Chains A and B, each alone.
Chain A
Amino acid sequence: SQTIHQWPATLVQPVGSPLSLECTVEGTSNPNLYWYRQAAGRGLQLLFYSVGIGQISSEVPQNLSASRPQDRQFILSSKKLLLSDSGFYLCASTTSSRYEQYFGPGTRLTVT
């Protein structure tokens, strides 16, 4: 079974500062990878997905970007954070079947 790691677990950043969140996956190869954001008490919003190294698709135009430098590494970045970027960021990965999607533990980001 696969394991998804995310770090940091929590982060408090001032407005205008840069952001880098990392996700790594163990126990599978060539997964589809996803970044979601969840606002407090809300559902999950798909931000980016990747089907391979260097292949990134954006679902929602915004202040964030994503990169996939290695097969099992997915990074979420921002050059200048906004207050509205606060939320719970979740990385997810598929199994080889491409259907079952598993989530990491998440990163709680607070922009002050």
Chain B
Amino acid sequence: QQQVKQSPQSLIVQKGGISIINCAYENTAFDYFPWYQQFPGKGPALLIAIRPDVSEKKEGRFTISFNKSAKQFSLHIMDSQPGDSATYFCAASIGDSWGKLQFGAGTQVVVTP
């Protein structure tokens, strides 16, 4: 049973466009929502994370939007670049659960020149 559902499975966007990846969760006890970026053959890299007490967090071209009532959060990649082509994973965890992350299935993003 997947506790974090991620969509779309894959995404193609033109250079300069906006990539949007969505995640939904059921467990209202989740209190930490990170996004990871993974290139082929590499370990996932922590990209950006948010807590449920804020609705948006921005770091450079990457923005997380969080909707607590809808139990959804999303990653927006502004001005997408070919170097952003990677697989992106959303995740969620509960503070008192030893940091165990529940991952989404991943979204493969391809940015065309």
- Interface range on chain A: under 10, 10 to 19, 20 to 34, or 35 or more? 20 to 34
CB distance from A84 to the nearest CB of B (A): 19
Determine if A99 and B43 form an interchain contact, defined as CB atoms under 8 angstroms apart.
no
- In this complex, the interface size class of chain B, counting residues with CB under 8 Å from chain A, is 20 to 34
Known contacts A43-B105, A46-B100, A98 near B95 by CB under 8 Å: yes
From known contacts A44-B44, A101-B46, A108-B41, infer whether A32 and B103 are also in contact, taking CB-CB under 8 Å: no
Chain B residues packing against A (C-beta within 8 Å): 32, 34, 36, 41-46, 49, 89, 93, 95, 98-101, 103-106
Ordered by A's residue number, 23 sampled pairs between the chains whose C-beta atoms are within 8 Å are A32-B98, A43-B103, A43-B106, A44-B103, A46-B100, A49-B98, A49-B99, A49-B100, A57-B98, A94-B99, A98-B98, A99-B93, A99-B95, A99-B99, A100-B34, A101-B34, A101-B99, A101-B101, A103-B36, A103-B46, A105-B43, A106-B41, A108-B41
